[in-house]
Structure 1
Amino acid sequence: MTPGKELSDNNPISQDFSHVNLHQPKWPQDTYVGRAKHFFTVTNPMNLLLSGQALDEAKEIVLRHSKGSLPPGLTEDDLWKAKYRYDSAFHPDTKEKMFLIGRMSAQVPMNMTITGCMMTFYRTTPAVICWQWINQSFNAVVNYTNRSGDAPISNKRLMASYMAATTGAVGTALSLNSLVKKLPSLIGRFVPFCAVAAANCINIPMMRSNELTDGIPVTTETGERIGNSKAAANKAIVQVVFSRIGMAVPGMVIPPLFMNKWSKGPFLKKYPMMAAPVQVALVGICLVFATPLCCALFPQQSSIAVTNLEENLQKELKRRGVASEYVYFNKGL
């Protein structure tokens, strides 16, 4: 049986899948290769084509596995397929179905379109403002959707972070554009990347600023929740900022090198309207690899040394008799 077929609570267990731990990825996460394989599956754009019913049935399989009531005919491959369908659409902490364009599987199609257009229409002020605004609007949705922990974010905080990131991105882009007017055209093509990098340094910390003030959940190796840690939140946000900037590098650095040369060639001179589609395609090719490979830079369930935790959490660990040197947290994406 595969995800998508009707499930019945009266079906007996056909096989013993107790050895399969769906709380962990299929591949080991203590190696970069294992994390990369995991994120190639999570960021697969084909997951966006799954219907709501298929996602709900995948969720049911995952939940029934934890209760030991799987239907007959289900293979181990079907079980892992359900797990990754579930992971692609449901938040790991809140368990809620995530907004479609905020899911990691939407990163490639959304970013290739937005980034390609940002890098094509970068010369005029209206175009810079328009595409940087669109990009930061999308980033705000992604950052909120993939936040760490289960604490709600107020509308006031959402609006403040959105406005700050948009202002930072537009201001950086316009300032740099004015500075590079007399420099070679290739230099100007890298202005959008600088603006995106600056905005990421603003948007992510501000969108997740409640984590910095209230902390994020930290757990023992067995999953026992100890409390909320601001130190863990700080580490999580730094890791995500670094990953997001790294994710943007290939798609915003490699295509300009090609486009600077091709823009002087006969094809784009004859068909200038093809510049945007060509650039979008180039960015897409880069993002297919850059997105999962940069998401994999740090473990999703990251760790922090107990000695770096707040004093009250260290005392709580001692009170519970936990002798571990590290605790763990979901870093977000």
Structure 2
Amino acid sequence: MLKEALVRLGAPALLRALLGGRGTILVLHRVRAPDPDLMFEVNQRNSIPPEQLTGLLDILAAERIEVVGLDEALARLAAPHAGRFACLTFDDGYRDNHDTLLPILAARRVPATVYVAPGLIDGTAPLWWYALDQAIARTARLRLPMPEETEIPCGDRAAKERAFALAAGFMLRATPEQAARLNAALVERHGADPAALAARHMMTWDMVRALAASPFVEIGAHTLTHPPLAVLPPAAAAAEMAQSRARLERETGRPVRHLAYPYGTPGTTGAREAALAAELGFRSAVTTVPGTLGRRHAAECHAWPRHGIGPADGPAAIRLKLAGLANPLAARG
């Protein structure tokens, strides 16, 4: 109600003049209805239904914000005068990006970038957030190496919420070896099936190639195995970025010019990762730190902010995000 009141009072126009910058990158993941098999809000938060996406496109059109690709965003940031723009980006490589998103983009004739992690497509990088969701939903006690053996009660909903938050927080700072041990425990002790999860949720390579062949989709790199890059040594972090690009280019036959950091938060991504992305020749790299793009981002193009769009974002929330409200400090140009 507060957001709607702010919009009625004309706040977006005022905020846009102060904080709106030149453009906005929007980060989404999935285009589908809520999944009844997933318990935790954080896993539902990454999905919006198709009608919400088309509503978002209607708002952008009404606000006279042109949807452009990332190369055009770079050009507009470098130009002295350019119209307001937004970029649509989708992370990970989910199946509905092919089944639902692609037809919407084609019908509306708007571009988007889909950042793909090859390991998630292959099933060699487990969807631990979904495996953890399933394990906690059906057990009263979780036992996981975090990194020491830890037993976590999961008897009621509140306990399950705490268990998920604890285990997910560990995974965002886990080394590859620690993450592998936890994933193995989810399989051996709690019945997780990484191959089945990948088959259900992720695109096939044929689907990735179909997206890459569309004039409305650019495929971007999202590392090879979707790790929190900050925990890796520099050479390993660079290899994750470079090998992701190389595999995607082999599979699609198209150049891969842009990168999204997995998770993209200050704890998982920082100045070191931005320097590595620049050294590897990526034209841009995006975080999940909220904010809009200003003049300085023409040069600082390897740590671009993105506003997240989730199922709770109605028209008022979207207009305020486009105006730069979510993170004023990041929005300054």
- TM > 0.5 fold call: no
Q: TM-score scaled to structure 2, two decimals?
A: 0.23
Max radius of gyration: which structure? 1
Higher relative contact order (CA 8 A, sep 6+): 2
Q: TM-score scaled to structure 1, two decimals?
A: 0.23
Q: Which has the higher strand share?
A: 2
Q: Which has the higher helix share?
A: 1
